[in-house]
Amino acid sequence: MRRFVVFGMAFCFFQLNGIAQLDSLDHIVRRGLNYPNYFAEDTYVSRGAVPRAVEGSLFLDERWQDAHILTPDGKVVQARARYRVYDDEMQILGPDKQAMGLYPAKVRAVAIGQQVFIPLQFRNPEGKNTVGYFQLLMEGEMSLLLRRSTELVKSDYNPALDVGDRNDHLELRETYYYRRDDGTPQLLRQSKGSILKALGRRKKAVSEYAKANQLNPRKQEDLIDVFRFYNRE
């Protein structure tokens, strides 16, 4: 729980003192250029764009946007950033306009606009433990997280019949997780039964609240409302 409180306080502080933080990022970037081994610990040159043989975007949003980065030692620095979903890579724009990838282990959180992303260890769909970025939708004793990935959908074009789509497509997939305090994120299926099971000891109150307010577990805003209610009870 303390982890999320720290995030909120740090980002709030930055909004009040954002201009003073600009020099902090400039210093880091210049150190990276003057001392080649510095970025080996904190960032790396991004893999860049894969050959554009498919339709769809590699990014959540391809535009570089103002971002706040919370470092392990509690400092907040400003950068231009974007999230490359295809590689689960958080990128920052270097002074020479080169895309740099942040190592997840070297950041505690990245806020791009109103969206806050945190790197967490979890078990992926293949059953392997890995570290990836989650968007923090609701923080508290029981936090709601959103994990994004891309799936390549192959062309179904039939040349003999000249029917179907000629192009492959990258499609964005979204999966919800819940996390109790500082535990490991757990997969959350968007069904009433799965949500009530996850929320455990308060499931009766949650069920009554959801019914009274006609909340749909498949709608993000309603899911956030359920977790908000749970955390304030």
91-139 confidence digits (pLDDT tens): 999 888 889 899 888 889 999 999 999 999 999 888 889 999 999 999 9
3-state SS class at 10: helix
Is 7 in contact with 138 (CB distance < 8 Å)? Answer: no
Residue 10 is part of which domain span? 2-188
Question: Is residue 210 one of the residues assigned to a domain?
Answer: no
Is the pLDDT confidence value at 28 over 90?
A: no
Is the pLDDT confidence value at 76 over 80?
A: yes
Average pLDDT, the chain: 81
Predicted local distance difference test score (pLDDT) of residue 42:
58
Question: Is residue 157 one of the residues assigned to a domain?
Answer: yes
Q: Tokens 């790396």: give the residue.
A: 44
Query: What is the number of structural domains in the chain?
Result: 1
Is the pLDDT confidence value at 31 over 80?
A: no
Question: Is residue 17 one of the residues assigned to a domain?
Answer: yes
DSSP H or E stretch at residue 14: helix 2-17
Question: Is residue 129 one of the residues assigned to a domain?
Answer: yes
Predicted local distance difference test score (pLDDT) of residue 125:
81
Question: Is residue 42 one of the residues assigned to a domain?
Answer: yes
Q: Can you tell me the mean pLDDT for 75-93?
A: 93
Give the span between the Cα atoms of 178 and 230, in whole angstroms: 12
pTM reported for the whole predicted model: 0.80
